[in-house]
Structure 1
Amino acid sequence: MRVTTLSIEGRSARSALMLSLVASLLYGSQYVVIKDGMGGINPLLFGAATMGTGGLLAMLLVRRRKGLDLSIFKRWEVWAGTFFATAMIACQYIGLTLSTASVGGLIVGSNVIFVAPLSAIIFREVIGRVQALGVAVGLMGLMTITTGWDLSFLGTNVFLGDILLLIASFSIAANYPLTKFAVRVMGNDEWVMSFHLLSAFFLLILSLFIGGPGEPGDLSIPAVLFVGLFCTSVPTLLWAIGLRSLSMTTSATVLLSESAFAVLLGVVLLSEPLDTMTVLGAVLVFLAIFTVSRTVAQKR
């Protein structure tokens, strides 16, 4: 009986890892599409369109499974998730207009560095010395990527874009514990649907007051459809399902492949250069995430 239970748990963990991996590859593909396809459209409006598309797709899944239950919109988890999702999309999309897709993928994908301390605070996961060192190395890597240790870089638009991407990364990390709480009282699809639809609404409102609609490019509509259908609710739903069987830090570590895939696509498809400091920062971030995840795996 014990062997059977362990076997089932093992398969469940492997399935969760695969779901998280697929989610990370879908997430990683969005950076070059956003960077190349947004054109002159307001990033906030672009974000509202992509999140709205993803939210409607999730709503179809909810209706097919059980029907809509509007009571979920009274839950604090939904509104907290909406706040961080709105901040994440706004900062990420605006940040990508000022920075490169590859750097955007590196910074946003480093959210595990913030997940580790958050998991310690909220779920009382113990952070050992090695794990704390990993977080410190990761922060140093992010500092290297965003500034290149050049003080003259601090006043540039590129630095502003990197800071916005850093805020987006923290916002993603904040949604990890919220997801843990939310799926205890609602379905994964309901959770994903709720904050996608609400954040789309608030992003639309923000776009009306900040910048106007802008000028859509030839690739804007295809980009909205691609990101909305494949890079919002679908990978988020896969990730949320996988998170049921994984720790927050382990799940975030698997999503590290998002950064690697984003860098690969940025260099290959957009011919984005990677300077020495960016490469050094990326190495430090990858080393930090490996260190954090390895210590968590040993504890499990």
Structure 2
Amino acid sequence: MDFLRPTTLAEALTMKSENPGAIPIAGGTDVMVEINFDHRRPAALLDLNRVAELYDHSFVDGRLRIGANVPYTRIIAELGHRLPGLAMAARTVGSPQIRNRGSVGGNLGAASPAGDSHPALLAAEAEVELASARGTRIVAARDFYLGVKRNVLEPDELISAVWLDPATGPQQFSKIGTRNAMVIAVCAFGLALHADRKQVGTGIGSAAPTPRRAVDAEEFINGELDGLWESPRALNDSVKRRFGELVAQAASPIDDVRGSAEYRKHALAVIARRTLGWAWDEYRGGGRKCA
């Protein structure tokens, strides 16, 4: 197995172009597990740990650009006030050691349906920056996932950054697991109130072949909230229940060792209505700020 160690992004992209089968590695929280269990044996590893550009985040034209290797701990500490939903999701990732190594870029590259950052990225309407020696392109997160552990990356491309708008309203994230830490999600849900444009964003995780939005649920709640953004009042329980039902209907889960499809749909309905209630109560001025 070859081990490639670029020191700049340009060098990394050249190496990736010359070695399209090389697997990128930074935190290694997914790749090394697969290699250690002999589930994957790539011809080459492309070590991105020394590429400083991938560890930067910046504010560009009113948007946040987060380098692919920025670890979860820095997202929590440095960007949590601007991206509360993503920070909530980051707090649920593995152990402190994993959060110090793992990153959103790695989560996207693995494209696991159970990746913790995906629901928050979808709800926030994030975009993914893909770079190659040929140039750079931007792909909406909702279009990034193609199937179980499959994404739109071309063989010569690397994930270089994620783009998000700073939150203009409350955001929430909730995850169901067999315990509170060090666990793969049975299901997960992200929600964002985009107060600037009076819309709600959603993201479902670990309940379909890919992370996905609950489009019908978004359309329903956007209609229910029409006229309430300026003078918010408490939401009826029937509205929150219907929202949860529509979120569950958007999922297409399977039975596996972590939970049944029926349980996943039930759990999604519950956490969807709860996160909606928490976020809307916070928007009204008296609710909780974190799940």
Q: Bin the TM-score by the shorter chain.
A: under 0.3
Q: Which has the higher strand share?
A: 2
The normalised TM-score by structure 1 is 0.27
The normalised TM-score by structure 2 is 0.28
Q: Which has the higher helix share?
A: 1
Query: Greater RCO between the two (CA within 8 Å, min separation 6)?
Result: 1
